[in-house]
Amino acid sequence: MPEYSIVEELEPLFNPRSVAVIGATSNWNKWGFSTFSCALDGFGGSVYPVNNKREAVLGHKAFEWVTDIPGEVDLAMFVIPASGVPGAMENCVAKKVKAAVIISAGFAETGEEGRKLQDEVLEIARKGGIRFVGPNCMGFWSASSKLKGFMWPMPIKAGQLAFVTQGGNIGGAVAAAAYEREIGFHRYVSCGCAADIQIEDFVEYFGRDPEVKVILTYIEGLASGERFIEKVGKVTAKKPVVVLKPGKTEAAAKAIRAHSGALAGHDEIYEEAFRKAGVIRTESPEELLDVAIGFLTQPLPRGRNVAITTPGGSYGVLCADYCASLGLNVIKLPEEIVNDFNDIFPSRWSHGNPVDPAGDRNIIAYLKAPEALVKLDEVDSLIFMGFGSFSGLGSTFAQMSDLSSAEYPAIPQTTAASPANPDEPIQSFSSLFGYVFGGGDSKAIDEVARLVSLVVGSGETDFLNDLSQSTTTPRDQSEMLTQAANHFIGALILHWSQSYHKPIVTTTFSETTFYLNLKRGLYYSYPTPQRAAKVLAKLVQYREYLEREA
């Protein structure tokens, strides 16, 4: 077999011009139906159904054998019983197919006989120079070719992540969760038994792709730990690789052998391999995605020193506890910053880190804290709690809609920009925001105007457009303000983080995530302080790995 680079070898897989689905069918209760349907969804090249019992599949002319297809076939997808795969692979070799995806199950995961069958297929493929994914996998996705090579329709969008997973269900769950959060993948591969292309091969390929910023992996077992360390270690020097690896118990090890046919091995061995390769290990699918989003949205911290701001003391205590248990340093605040906060907070504030204003209703004053903290040389990162979706603030205003008109206070009107006064939306937003959350104090309004100018200066203006909508009731204005405040706070936090090159990890307090696609990037908030602290600790871990390697 000729020697090619991994990029050349996998090019026909991720950027094929034509695809043959071997086992395609019009029977909706067969995997061949959903696989063929997925391949047709968005792919710009030719998709050929191969079925020796039907003349057409879903209105497309069917071919009895892959060799009957006119023209070249770059990629073949197998959705037939395992026993028929060797013969079909022989036909692919004769047709000079370049790559394959074997979705079919019944190979190494079933035992010795299945492994022999898998080895036979591997030998045939290598004879013809065909690189293949699987067997016993759920397919793949390529954003560059818009090919959904899945066995089942799965929500996915283009983005900056790449994911190779030995577990189709885990992979699908992570991809679906990412989709709900508007996070996309440039490449996604369910590799199953990984008989041919190994996990480290995919990681190497993703590492060379400039469109991929973060690489995710779900690993049940490796064929060669040394090969993994060698290949993946070259990638982690340039971009993060985040792994989820079960198998710490004998029960999990048995389940792995039954699922993918992989040998789980001793967990200590894998832990050492990951450490040497610079891989960031996580403990759950949720953490895998959390950490990946952290790498996508945050700069790396320069050290372990963390400051915490919280509108409620109890969550601040929990967050400090989580941070300390993960090796982060919840620093003592410098005396000068404590004095500054004495001037803006009531005397009952916490006077330390976490910064807790102890129920102060002046939100404008509270917004000064993260900016002051992130400027400090002593602070490497900030956890900003409770304002992920600004829900606590918006609800304050929303409650006013239940009051009678006599009880309801006059609210400043909001207007759009005019040629005569292009700054009118800024003034309008500052007055409204300062009125509701700062009591209408002129200093509060001036402070909001300053913060709004920072955000607008960074190119983010959509939140001002929210205020140009016509509103007739207090409830309408409440919803309008909440939407505008969401955009404003998210853009402000992103501006601070990017301006000072420090991570600002936020939480919502509500077991829900929150995200905004802003002009300067993605703003994302985690549901709990524990998840936020874990993400921050992983960012620190990767930074320290890079510094050791340097």
Instruction: List the domain boundaries for the chain.
Output: 1-135, 154-297, 305-390+495-549, 409-482
pLDDT tens figures, 262-280: 445 578 889 999 999 999 9
Nearest to 416 by CA among 406, 404, 429, 407: 429
Q: 45-49 long-range contacts, Cβ below 8 Å, gap at least 24? A: 45/16, 45/17, 45/18, 45/19, 45/74, 45/145, 45/147, 46/17, 46/18, 46/19, 46/71, 47/18, 47/19, 47/20, 47/21, 48/18, 48/19, 48/20, 48/21, 48/73, 49/20, 49/21, 49/24, 49/25
pLDDT tens figures, 416-456: 555 555 677 788 788 877 777 776 678 888 888 899 999 99
* Predicted confidence (pLDDT) at residue 528 exceeds the cutoff of 70: yes
- Alpha carbon of 97 to those of 18, 74, 100, 234: distances in Å? 10, 5, 8, 31
At residue 358, what are phi and psi to the nearest 5 degrees? 60, 50
Kindly give the residue spans of alpha helices, DSSP state H, lying in 350-389.
363-366, 368-375
pLDDT in the model for residue 2: 47
* Predicted confidence (pLDDT) at residue 409 exceeds the cutoff of 50: no
The whole-chain average pLDDT of the chain stands at 88
CA 228 to chain centre: 23
* Predicted confidence (pLDDT) at residue 390 exceeds the cutoff of 50: no
Return the H-helix or E-strand segment holding 426: helix 424-438
443-467 burial by CB neighbour count: b if 16+ within 10 A, else e? ebbebbbebbeebbebebbebbebb
Q: What residue ranges in 300-392 does DSSP mark as E strands? A: 305-309, 329-330, 381-384
Write the CATH number of the domain with boundaries 305-390+495-549. Answer: 3.40.50.261
Q: What angle do CA 88, 94, 95 make, to 5 degrees?
A: 90
Q: Which of 243-252, 358-367, 454-463, 499-508 has the lowest mean pLDDT?
A: 243-252
> If you write DSSP's letter for every residue of 427-460 in order, what string do you get?
HHHHHHHHHHHHTT-HHHHHHHHHHHHHHHHTT-
pLDDT in the model for residue 159: 97
Query: Which residues are CB-neighbours of 295 under 8 A, at least 6 positions away?
Result: 213, 214, 240, 242, 539, 542
CA–CA gap between residue 344 and residue 21 (Å, rounded): 67
**Radius of gyration from C-alpha coordinates of the chain:** 28
Burial of 470 (0-12, 13-18, 19+ CB in 10 A): exposed
Out of 3.40.50.720, 3.30.460.10, 3.90.870.10, 3.90.1200.10, the CATH code matching 1-135 is 3.40.50.720
At residue 350, what are phi and psi to the nearest 5 degrees? -65, -20
Under the banding of pLDDT at 50, 70 and 90, the label for residue 406 is very low
At residue 105, what are phi and psi to the nearest 5 degrees? -100, 175
First to last CA, the chain: 37
pLDDT tens figures, 59-87: 999 999 999 999 999 999 999 999 999 99
CA–CA gap between residue 184 and residue 477 (Å, rounded): 33
pLDDT in the model for residue 475: 63
Domains 1-135 and 305-390+495-549 in one fold: yes
Return the H-helix or E-strand segment holding 9: helix 6-14
* Predicted confidence (pLDDT) at residue 183 exceeds the cutoff of 50: yes
Query: Which CATH superfamily includes the segment(s) 154-297?
Result: Succinyl-CoA synthetase domains (3.40.50.261)
Q: Please say whether the beta carbons of 129 and 160 come within 8 A.
A: no
Query: Which residues are CB-neighbours of 102 under 8 A, at least 6 positions away?
Result: 78, 85, 121, 132, 133, 134, 135, 136, 137, 192, 195
Share of the chain above pLDDT 90, in %: 67
